[in-house]
Amino acid sequence: MRKIALLSALLLAACSSEDAPESKASAAAQAVANAAPIPADAPVILAFGDSLYAGYNLQPGEGYPPRLEAALNAGGTPARVVNAGVSGDTTSAALQRLTFTLDNQPVKPVLALVGLGGNDMLRGLPPEETRANLDSILTEFDRRGIPVVLTGMLAAPNLGADYTERFNPIWPDMAKKHKAGLVPFFLAPVLGNSALMLGDNVHPNAEGVNKIVAATQTQVADALKKAVESRK
C-alpha cells in the first residue's frame, strides 16, 4: 500500500496540463485491431524495463511493447518489439540481467527502449545508485552499438525536495551523456485520469497504454529510422 500511495501522489502532483490527443489514442487502438503483418526482416527494438513495459495485469497484446509494435507497423515503420520488461525490477536487478538478455536475443536489436527507475523511487533507494546503475546499463548498450531511447521517471513529491533534486535530473543527464533519446516522463499521458489507470492507480490500463503509445510512437519511429540508416 505504501508503494501505491507514493506513486499515486506522484500522479496527482505531476499532472500534465495536456493529454495525448484523443484521436491519436484511438488511432493506436485501431492499429492494434488492424495490425499489419510484420516483415520477416523487420528491425528489432528491445524494450528493456520494469512493469510499465511488462504489461502488468493486462491481457496478452495490451502492454506497451506489443501495442507500440502494432502502431509502428500500421504507420509504415516496420519493427519487431521484443518485450524484456520484468515487473518489480529495480535498476540494480535490471543491470544484473542485462548481459544475459542481450546475449540471448536471436537477432541483435537495432534500437533499445530503457524504462527503469520507478521501483528505485518507490523503495526510496539512493538516487546515486539509480544514476550509477542506469549509467552502467547505457554504457553496455553503447559498447554493443545499440542506440537507446530512455523513458523517464519522476520522484514522488512526498519524498522531499532533496530526493527530487537528486532523482529527477538522472534521465536528462544520462540522455545527454550517452546521446540517447529521451521521453521525459513515460506516464505523462495518463496522469490524473483514473479512466486510464488500473485500480492500483499506478499502472496504465489498456486505453492508458494507447495514450502512451500515441505520445511516443513518432519519437520511437524516428529513432528507429535513424538507427537503421546508420547501419547502412
Query: CA 23 → CA 13, 210, 232, distances in Å?
Result: 26, 11, 35
| Across 19-45, average pLDDT | 65
pLDDT at 88 over 60: yes
Question: 51, 89, 120, 178: which one is catalytic?
Answer: 51
200 among known catalytic residues: yes
Q: What is the three-class DSSP state of 183?
A: strand
Higher pLDDT, 3 or 96: 96
Cell of 182: 529521451
Q: Which residue has the higher pLDDT, 29 or 183?
A: 183
Residue 64 makes CB contacts below 8 A (sequence gap 6+) with: 47, 52, 53, 55, 85, 209, 212, 213
27-31, 36-40, 57-61: the lowest-pLDDT one:
27-31
Tens of pLDDT, residue by residue over 97-128, are: 999 999 999 999 999 999 999 999 999 999 99
Q: What is the pLDDT of residue 79?
A: 98
Could you say which of 19, 89, 120, 203 is catalytic?
203
Q: What is the pLDDT of residues 124-178, one digit of tens each?
A: 999 999 999 999 999 999 999 999 999 999 998 899 999 999 999 999 999 999 9
Q: For residues 35-48, give the mean pLDDT.
A: 90
Phi and psi, residue 111, nearest 5°: -145, 150
Predicted structure pTM score:
0.86
Domains in the chain, please, with CATH?
A: 2-230 (3.40.50.1110)
From the list 203, 200, 197, 177, the residue with the least C-alpha distance to 115 is 203
pLDDT over threshold 70, residue 20: no
Task: Round the CA-based radius of gyration of the chain to a whole number and report it.
Answer: 17
Please state the rounded mean pLDDT for residues 33-50. Answer: 87
Q: What is the share, in percent, of the chain residues with pLDDT greater than 90?
A: 78
**pLDDT grade, residue 29 (50/70/90)?**
low
- pLDDT at position 34 is 57
Identify whether 178 is a catalytic site residue: no
- Asked if residue 10 lies in contact with residue 152, where contact means CB atoms within 8 angstroms, the answer is no
Q: Does 17 participate in catalysis according to the annotation?
A: no
Catalytic residue among 173, 200, 222, 230: 200
Q: 191-230 burial, b for 16+ CB within 10 Å, e for fewer?
A: bebeebbeeeebbbbbbbbbbbbbbbbeebbebbeebeee
Q: What is the mean pLDDT of residues 88-92?
A: 98
Residue 1 has pLDDT above 80, yes or no: no
